[in-house]
Amino acid sequence: MNVFITILFMVVIGAFINGLTNHLAIKMLFRPYNPIYIGKWRVPFTPGLIPKRRDEMAVQMGKMVVEHLVTPEIIRAKFMNKDFQHDMTELVKKELRTLMESDMTINSLLEKAGIEDGTERIEKRIGRFVEGVYEKAMGKYRGQPIAAVLPQPLLEGAERKIPEITAYILGKGEDYFSSFEGKVRIQAMFDEFFKDKGMIGSMIQRVLGNVSFADRIQPEIIKFFKSDGAHLLITNILQKELEKLLDRDAAELEEMAGREKIVSALKDYAVNLAGTEKLLGTPASELLASYKETILERMAPNIVVMLGDWLTSRIEMMMEKLHLQELVRAQVETFSLDRLEDMVIGITSRELKMITYLGALLGGIIGIFQGIFAVLFS
């Protein structure tokens, strides 16, 4: 009976001492937080290992994160993962659907982004763009004839239009002089011309008898407007004038029309064509209604793929700009020792308890052998 009690006593003592030693060793990883002094002598093993080496641990954690946990290869593989892309596509679809079904306008989106007077800003940009394009074009064409500036199909179209213009002019002339107003005008011209001619006017009037000059000359004028000769004459005049115009310098045409007027007209046309004010004030639900399915089923997956490709091609640069290692180090250094201890213990608590229990077990086993040896040699 005494032998059993001796061995049991040795087992209990060994397990208690070894378990307590391991428990203290674990605690000494963190405690005490600050060095303890007796006079000027610092007590050994104070502060604990982790408080003492916190700065080094912060550096090593930053290095570990960058070199092993969050590497460009790991992030790139995550972006290329099909399940991740599917999840991101569904997220993008959800956000796009919310936007397209809302009453939010482009103006309100711009205002949320801190951009006031969106319509005015866009119209100014359109104006600057138009002016820039105009200046670039005129800088190239100034000093050249107008014929070299205009596209060939336009020139050919103008040539083909000349007979139509001639027919239009002659038709209008015929209509005018066939009318009562035209007849009155002919008579007025005759009266004006012969008013100061005295005898000559009287002689012509006697020759005509009771018929007025307008009655005599009106059919001839109408006949002229219908003649092939008149058509050929007007056509030749228009062709020559067109040739003269096309031979003139493009800068001369700009000077005649006025640069400011041309640019202003082009700006107004571009702004009206864009319909900026109406566009920016239209709700997204109305603006995108007919494109909803196309955006959700085609654009959303493409957006995810394009964004993933863009990010993966620049991930090294982005991580370099983020200074991730320094970010982790600085963050760890700001942790309080209490928080750092809780974080480590929260991760390794089970293993630390097993170390304590293992120490007690080993102490108990050693106690058995010590008890046996004590009994044998007593």
pLDDT tens digits, residue range 312-322? 888 888 888 87
More confident residue, 265 or 280: 265
pLDDT at 211 over 70: no
Pairing state of beta strands 41-42 and 37-38?
antiparallel
Query: What residues have CB less than 8 Å from 187, skipping those under 6 apart?
Result: 212, 213, 214
Binned at pLDDT 50, 70 and 90, residue 335 comes out as confident
Q: From residue 258, give the alpha-carbon distance in Å to each of 174, 251, 262, 307, 313.
A: 36, 10, 6, 48, 51
pLDDT score, position 206: 52
Whether 213 contacts 187, CB under 8 Å: yes
- 58 against 133, higher pLDDT: 133
Report the alpha-carbon distance of residue 319 to residue 126 in Å, rounded.
Answer: 38
Examine the pLDDT at 197 and tell me if it is beyond 60: no
Residues 74/75/79/80 CA torsion (nearest 10 deg)? -30
Q: Residue 20 pLDDT more than 70?
A: yes
The fraction of the chain above a pLDDT of 70, given in percent, is 92
pLDDT at 43: 72
* Rounded average pLDDT over 235-264: 82
Q: Tell me the average pLDDT across 81-86.
A: 86
Distance CA 48, CA 35 (A): 8
Structure tokens at 50: 């982790």
Per the CB < 8 A criterion, the answer to whether 183 and 216 are in contact is: no
Q: What is the C-alpha to C-alpha distance for residues 178 and 222, in angstroms, rounded to an integer?
A: 7
Give residue 279's Cα distance to chain centre: 17
Distance CA 375, CA 378 (A): 5
Closest-CA residue to 8 (of 377, 370, 356): 370
Most confident of 171-175, 192-196, 295-299: 171-175
* DSSP assignment letter at 173: H
* Geometric angle at alpha carbon 368, from 362 and 369, rounded to 5°: 95
For residue 145, what are the β-bridge partners?
A: 249
Nearest to 168 by CA among 63, 238, 258, 240: 238
Question: Are 50 and 321 contacting, i.e. CB atoms less than 8 angstroms apart?
Answer: no
Which two tokens mark 314? 């620049």
Q: How confident is the model at residue 148 (pLDDT cuts 50, 70, 90)?
A: confident
Distance separating alpha carbons of residues 226 and 18, to the nearest angstrom: 129
Peptide bond between residue 163 and the one before it cis (omega within 30 degrees of 0) = no
Residue 253 near residue 143, CB atoms below 8 Å: no
Task: Name the more confident of 231 and 194.
Answer: 231
Q: How confident is the model at residue 210 (pLDDT cuts 50, 70, 90)?
A: very low
Cα distance between residue 149 and residue 134, in whole Å: 13
Give mean pLDDT, residues 122-149.
Answer: 81
- Among 227-241, 255-269, 326-340, 354-368, the minimum mean pLDDT is found in 326-340
More confident: 246 or 232: 232
Distances (CA, A) of 345 to 64, 114, 151, 341: 19, 46, 80, 6
The rounded mean pLDDT for the chain is 78
The length of the chain, given as a count of residues: 378
